[in-house]
Amino acid sequence: MSDLGADRRYSVPLYSIAEAARYLDVSSSTFQTWVRGYQRRPKGRRPVSGDAIVTALEPQGGKVIPFIGFAEGYVLAALKKAGVPLQRIRPALDHLQRTLGVDHALASKSLYTDGAEVLYDYARSHGDSPEARSARDLVVVRNQQRVFNETVDSYLRRIEFAADDRARLIHLPQYHGAQVVVDPERSFGAPIFAHGANRVEDVLAAFKAGEDLNTLSAEFGVPMADVLDVLRVAA
């Protein structure tokens, strides 16, 4: 494994909680609970709590989330998109972490290759509990193998992994045609166009400043269809 202290993915905070949430298309309050944990006291019921599940570092200039934490949040966003409440799936994720036996399991290639089988076994061993049903909802049987359902699989297929089998680049899924990636080695981890490496935020800022679409496409070297796609998402 690489020296984590020297690897920017682990050691450099690139995002505030609000930025990471915006890039992942989840609410800041949701991402906050993933980073800080939560404790709730519903009236007339037992308190419920959850530990932090996304990696965070000491703040630097308002930034607190390293790329590896962003990747973990990305997978949690996939589970949320699949309609599985995180509080229900947390025990299964803890089991997944222990079973895979790797650090940052949510950002690990092992999750993609072995995670569905682990969650299926967890669901089978926990009967008809809410936690087991939630884990089961994430898995389907295809060609006699347990694999993640279509929603989760579509997210995981957008992750590229480094030699240490941890995420190194993510293709954001909210764009229909534009290839927009998050890469810790470029533009301080801000979303960029895969071709040309211009920041999406720079294109949006120019549009808000009054630049017409043809000028945006020409000056930033971005196909018109991609410009329209990022404007659609921003709107």
Q: What's the rounded mean pLDDT across residues 4-13?
A: 85
Residue 2 confidence (pLDDT)? 45
Residue in 55, 77, 74 with CA at minimum distance from that of residue 10: 55
| Domain limits, CATH 1.10.10, in the chain | 174-235
42 — pLDDT class (breaks 50, 70, 90): low
CA distance 72 to 104: 7
Res. 3: pLDDT tops 60 = no
Tell me the residue length of the chain: 235
Tell whether the model's pLDDT for residue 1 goes beyond 50. Answer: no
pLDDT above 90 coverage of the chain, percent: 82
In angstroms, rounded to a whole number, what is the distance separating the alpha carbons of residues 146 and 139?
Answer: 6
Q: What's this model's pTM, rounded to 2 decimal places?
A: 0.91
Inter-residue contact 185 to 66 (CB < 8 Å)? no
Report whether 222 contacts 198 (CB < 8 A). Answer: yes
* pLDDT on residue 4: 54
d(CA 178, CA 223): 9
Give CATH for domain 174-235. Answer: 1.10.10
Listed range (112-116, 143-147, 167-171, 218-222) with the worst mean pLDDT: 143-147
